Structure 1
């Protein structure tokens, strides 16, 4: 290795929860959809470059469900409906099918297919239109590899409309044959040394919470624990053992590394990994900083060892740029910014090690062309950078000096706490139902056969998946929350049925009904003309404004959001007004600016927050909070437009807002539909 060469490790996490019910049928199709879009495509992109390496984490539940597509109509409920002629569907099935077929991201997946865009806007469909919608939905999920290499996909995209039932059968057969090649493709690339493949405890559980729920209060003393918690240490061991066995089936060797589900760690789980022969794990930088008692970034760019296990700590800022921010930039601008940021690390550190760990499937549907342009630009630049070399996690764990870590703070990759999976009444209720079911099962288990006991164990392990707790509470939003809630409770109901006793009535009550989440986006209810002074002034000054809660704007991933928690907005005849609230006191104002981007034209309006100045006719104030006024003259005759905000320190992007894309401003707003008493 050349002197002061930066070692860069890309780590792509591939995971889907277990959608199988007690009948073995997957209730939702996300494994299938990401299989035809992402699971093959992500490692395939690497093969276009001679020296680019990466690590891929394949969870056990993902690998098992991929295998089921040898018989898709038996195991995938959505495809079993999709395959039927629309005339044979009852009303409820037809409506659910349409709901799913309209779930693709509009700008990047629907709009590029003209007839899909037309059908997407309709509310009612003839049978022939629904067949077109069904096929175009699947084609919208087909990635660049399939669009360039699969003859059936290429022909249907060219045809564009006028499909029939036989087209459905041909498309499904072709795609399921393709899915069978995915895991062997990973195995061959790992054998060649191009990638490393790791895995995760079996059902993607939060092992530190299974072992000891008190870890939640150690990570955050303000967390409310579920009542009467149990230690499920034996289950934690089973999750590890079963995952390793499945990995060995596919890759003909034991895994050397794990991504703990949600990056969740504590000292006891690390001991379990070591006892099971795991050499390395990865988690988030928040764990390192909490463990060291400081957040000095110079400590981040190395690998550590604790209890004989090597630990890589994720650079949260760099990872979030890929996961959340670069989708708004051109491929070249994003790649240049990433390389510039890496170069600044290389200039400041000696032989730095940088770990970029990102969800490997969910971000790309927000990128143009499924991220293809971005990755081509990024990997090309990295291959040409002599000062930077990519390496797999196996190589990083073996080949570089490690620093011993004296203590390890419990936590996860989301803010270093477990609050995403515990503390909220809904999340705690889910845990309490698991504990209730465990106590009842322990009292009756001696009365069942070994085969029944095995099935009971399976349902317990599945109920411990982190994904159920992710969707409970107010912090994440999905159109399929009811389906997730049903899947979770049905695992526990099935345990009682296997025991031959009546399930408690509370298992039939949706956990989601316990409380209604406050909306993350409140639209304006009246015009407003506030004083832009950066202060919490009169209650009436911003009365009737719209708001977006940044803490609730994340559906499938999470991130360090930056200092801004909430933005408020509204307008009058002169200006657009926006106020930003959060931890402003923690921001160094040197080189700080707020960039407002008009998405329709790409025009930028800059507010200098170091000098607290703005362009003529615009106003900015920053004191107790940040407030701006953007003159309506900037927008000419536009009545409907979208604004995006970037908080920037020198060249570093601290936060992009809103987290869901852009703020829609409607100057024709009549407010009546948004008003309430």
Structure 2
């Protein structure tokens, strides 16, 4: 008799979706400066959880930035208060959606109209003939300023409704009769229609976190956390760590960020505390902001009690070039750095970038077939217990896909869960089933963008931002040492400092980015710093009144995403 052929071992695949928005409020006034948090909730975070709910056999890791969770909660509260008690909403665009009248002056009207064009023209605006017509009219108005006096309230109402319909998730458009009816109506929207849109938005805001929590309870997803306000931990710990992957990059005048390790611990403690408040348990894993790691960062994460972390494949490739790391077995394994207690998974940058930058141009079935073909080749050719890791933002890619990636994501989960040689899993499950964790003697510090920190430090504008942040941190330390602040003032100042330390401001500094994005984020960074000085009882430095960076570039995907491989 012939013996049975042993069952072929399945390739383990981890899909990790990172949900991230910085703090967009002016913490002095409570007014939101940009609407991206609530817009990404109703378009992306809702769709992403709905796709998982539709395929219960699918598994994924979903990472939330704590400061995003708090903003979602605040938006839900504000919308509820408006709908129940007509208390004003502090996001200008969301407030305009239900405003009884339009702005009186032409400049305010033009700003509101232009704000309603901040969407993907091909995928979100031109998809709907009625919205495209409004957008064409808006383009004309921008070049005929004197005609703004003749813009009536109906034009403003219609473009506001269409903007929010375009930003509504595909799974909501397919299932919510109110949204279907409003899309079919096409024009002449009433105040009742606009309030109905807000009611739908409020429902999404109030339920989205719970829906992820339910999937985590069922064991379908693993939820993980990022340091509270998304700082680049290796740079807070040691600015010179940038030189490990960029030997000749110029650095700020600031030699070291004052009290950096203390601030890293603060962000981790506050992040876990916030995560536990929303989800009810302590996360086992931490996706460090932008996948940024260093040897010191890994040690702190391990000491903090996390079982796993993750980063970009380019970080591991750079580390493989160190002579001490002999005979590397490849990126499709977790690693443990000598002297640390945490497993580190590394992103397959090639596969992740295909989803982020290429497959949006393909037919959904062809894209999924291509991805599975790559995975099948890996399953056939790689030896041992391999784990393929795909990590990317959970929001930024989908506006470039037809129908917000609906057909791609639906097909992806269906095909992966029924594939005989691929097993969807999570990082914690990999460790629980004794995945082969390889040793790593040394690590080159870097991030998931190019394997270095060039997105946040190393050119004149980014370095200027670090020097400005260093100045306010010295003022913060001096104020705390003086004991002149009350406990409440200290708490407010710590929160404001955390917002200033977020990575997003530095991401957008530099002329290779789009002008409007650079202006928006640079202006808010200066506002954040000025607000902190005022909380400390000091007059902000005069330089905070002046712009220090501008953009004129046109990077892929608007600059909100960058590939892992340079």
- Do the two structures share a fold, i.e. TM-score over 0.5? yes
Give the C-alpha shift of residue 397 in structure 1: 2.8
| CA distance, structure 1, for counterparts of residue 332 and residue 241 of structure 2 | 27
Deviations 1:144-166 (A, max 9, x none): 22112223212111211110122
2:24 equivalent to 1:19: yes
Give aligned pairs, total: 529
Pairing 1:389-468 to 2, within 5 Å after superposition:
389-399=423-433, 400-445=435-480, 446=482, 447-468=484-505
| CA distance, structure 2, for counterparts of residue 273 and residue 262 of structure 1 | 15
| CA distance, structure 2, for counterparts of residue 414 and residue 266 of structure 1 | 14
2:69 equivalent to 1:63: yes
Partner of 2:364: 331
Instruction: Classify 1:497/1:282 alpha carbon distance in 2 versus 1 (closer, same or farther; 3 Å).
Output: same
Give the C-alpha shift of residue 561 in structure 1: 5.6
Structure 1 stretch displaced more, 360-369 or 473-482? 473-482
Given candidates 43, 52, 66, the residue that maps to 2:49 is 43
Give the C-alpha shift of residue 283 in structure 1: 0.5
The question of whether the paired residues in 2 share the 8 Å contact of 1:199 and 1:247 is answered with yes
| CA distance, structure 1, for counterparts of residue 212 and residue 405 of structure 2 | 20
Instruction: Classify 1:367/1:425 alpha carbon distance in 2 versus 1 (closer, same or farther; 3 Å).
Output: same
Deviations 1:227-272 (A, max 9, x none): 0332422111110000100110111110111110010001221122
The question of whether the paired residues in 2 share the 8 Å contact of 1:143 and 1:370 is answered with yes
| CA distance, structure 2, for counterparts of residue 554 and residue 419 of structure 1 | 18
2:190 equivalent to 1:164: yes
The question of whether the paired residues in 2 share the 8 Å contact of 1:485 and 1:510 is answered with yes
Pairing 1:536-575 to 2, within 5 Å after superposition:
555-560=559-564
Give the match's secondary structure for 1:559: coil
Instruction: Classify 1:91/1:291 alpha carbon distance in 2 versus 1 (closer, same or farther; 3 Å).
Output: same
Instruction: Classify 1:343/1:143 alpha carbon distance in 2 versus 1 (closer, same or farther; 3 Å).
Output: same
Pairing 1:174-189 to 2, within 5 Å after superposition:
174-189=200-215
Partner of 2:85: none
Given candidates 261, 272, 286, the residue that maps to 1:244 is 272
The question of whether the paired residues in 2 share the 8 Å contact of 1:471 and 1:478 is answered with no
2:113 equivalent to 1:98: yes
Q: Which has the higher helix share?
A: 2
The question of whether the paired residues in 2 share the 8 Å contact of 1:298 and 1:349 is answered with no
Instruction: Classify 1:355/1:89 alpha carbon distance in 2 versus 1 (closer, same or farther; 3 Å).
Output: farther
Structure 1: gaps of 5 or more residues: 522-549, 563-677
Give the match's secondary structure for 1:8: strand
C-alpha RMSD over aligned residues: 2.0
| CA distance, structure 2, for counterparts of residue 172 and residue 443 of structure 1 | 45
2:287 equivalent to 1:277: no
Partner of 1:477: 514
Deviations 1:483-526 (A, max 9, x none): 211211112111221232221111111122xxx55x546xxxxx
| CA distance, structure 2, for counterparts of residue 561 and residue 265 of structure 1 | 17
The question of whether the paired residues in 2 share the 8 Å contact of 1:288 and 1:313 is answered with yes
Pairing 1:19-418 to 2, within 5 Å after superposition:
19-22=24-27, 23-69=29-75, 70-72=77-79, 73-123=88-138, 124=141, 125-229=151-255, 230-231=257-258, 232-293=260-321, 299-306=330-337, 307-350=340-383, 351-399=385-433, 400-418=435-453
The question of whether the paired residues in 1 share the 8 Å contact of 2:461 and 2:548 is answered with yes
Instruction: Classify 1:15/1:490 alpha carbon distance in 2 versus 1 (closer, same or farther; 3 Å).
Output: same
Max radius of gyration: which structure?
1
- Kindly indicate whether structure 1 or structure 2 has the higher relative contact order, using CA contacts under 8 Å at least 6 residues apart: 2
Give the C-alpha shift of residue 89 in structure 1: 4.5
TM-score by length of 1: 0.75
Give the C-alpha shift of residue 297 in structure 1: 8.8
The question of whether the paired residues in 2 share the 8 Å contact of 1:14 and 1:361 is answered with yes
TM-score by length of 2: 0.90
Q: Which has the higher strand share?
A: 1
Give the C-alpha shift of residue 314 in structure 1: 0.1
